[in-house]
Structure formats: structure tokens, C-alpha cells
Amino acid sequence: MIKRQERNIRRDGALFLLGFAGIILVEIAVSSGPVGSDGRVVQGLLFGCSIGILLSGIFRAPTKQALYSTLSLGVGFALGAVIDIV
């Protein structure tokens, strides 16, 4: 369960925009790179981390929870890419 903190428009907006920009960057930069298993894992990791940052801004997660959820989503998406390769 995510513990919400008070609304901070600047912090929440910055996290949302950073996550959204990360998604765009991952889709443009990493997707156009060399195709292979390593590219998919890195793309999954970066995409998951971007989603975690974006959602931390939406759900107003405290810093510690935002860090844990961002890393967990990144590792989960990277693991999903590895499983998809196999």
C-alpha cells in the first residue's frame, strides 16, 4: 500500500514530467538502437523505471517508496524482457 504525502505540485509535476520524458526517450533512443537481447533488457529496465517515476508523481509516494517502486518496476520489466527472449 502506498502511503500518500501532502500534495506538492512542483515535486509531483516534476516526477510526472520526468517519467513521461523518460518513456519518450526510451522509445526513441533505445528502440532505434541495435536490435538484440541486450537492447530489449535495457529497454525494459529503463521503461520500467520511467513508469515507476511517473506513477510516484501521480500517487504522491514518499521518497523511499518511490525509490523502491521505481527499482522494482525496472527490474520487473527487465526480467520480463529476458523471459520474452527465452
Cα(63)–Cα(4) distance, integer angstroms: 10
Cα(19)–Cα(46) distance, integer angstroms: 10
Domains of the chain, by residue range, sit at: 9-85
Is residue 35 over pLDDT 60?
no
Q: What is the pTM of this model?
A: 0.82
**56 with 13: CB under 8 angstroms?**
no
Mean pLDDT, rounded, for 60-77: 92
Is residue 43 over pLDDT 80?
yes
- Per-residue confidence (pLDDT) for residue 38, from 0 to 100: 63
DSSP per residue, the chain? -PPP----HHHHHHHHHHHHHHHHHIIIIITTS--SHHHHHHHHHHHHHHHHHHHHHHHT--HHHHHHHHHHHHHHHHHHHHHHH-
